[in-house]
Structure 1
Amino acid sequence: MRPIRATVAVFSLTALAFGAHAKPLDQNDRKVCGWGSQIAAEAQQAKLSGVTLYATRKKLQVRRFAKPWMRMTAFGITEQTYNSRSRLPTAAIKKTYYEQCIQHAIAKR
């Protein structure tokens, strides 16, 4: 059994070493995650308030976005939020989205 434990220990230390050398996230990644979490929070608030997905999408349609990719991404986030059975408060959705987005951005690096 010792060789297996040693292998696991070496693997764990190697993973820690590589994790320590990961590049920190840049400001743009944090902004994008913050923006996405705000969209998710707004969608959750609308869902919990009884606003239909159709009405929420219409609001997004007339909204101005800084980048061309933001509109379709906002639609996707909104749709996923509405399709979720979650009844979590808006603040919890915002926090969860942001944390998972940051984890994803770190994993991409």
Structure 2
Amino acid sequence: MRCGAGLWSQKSGQRASRRGGRRRDRRPHGPPPPAAFFFRLKELKKDARIEVHREDGTTAVFTVDAIDTFKKDAFPTDKVYGGTHGRPELRLITCGGNLAKDRHWDSDVVVFAHLTGKA
């Protein structure tokens, strides 16, 4: 899957648009901006491997236990941020669901994973 494809104006950083029947900034001006950090988070599946490269040069390996989507007004704070009973775990959280009229997402996508080793 190719992320970040599209027409971009190098000067403004905005997507090129059509105005008055004419096309403006039709050519790509340099590379498109990178996709957001968690753009592809929803593509993760149970048992997927996540590698976290640490400052000390080691790589921690986590295995995905579950991916859930929660409405923002019913976010399970204890489940997401609660204790892990001493087990090293990782939570990846990003916006998801549907885009509301106010242009904000109505849900959060949460990936639950546990440490399984080092790479």
> Which TM-score applies when normalising by structure 1?
0.24
Name the one with the larger strand percent.
2
Bigger relative contact order, structure 1 or 2, given CA contacts below 8 A and separation 6+?
Answer: 1
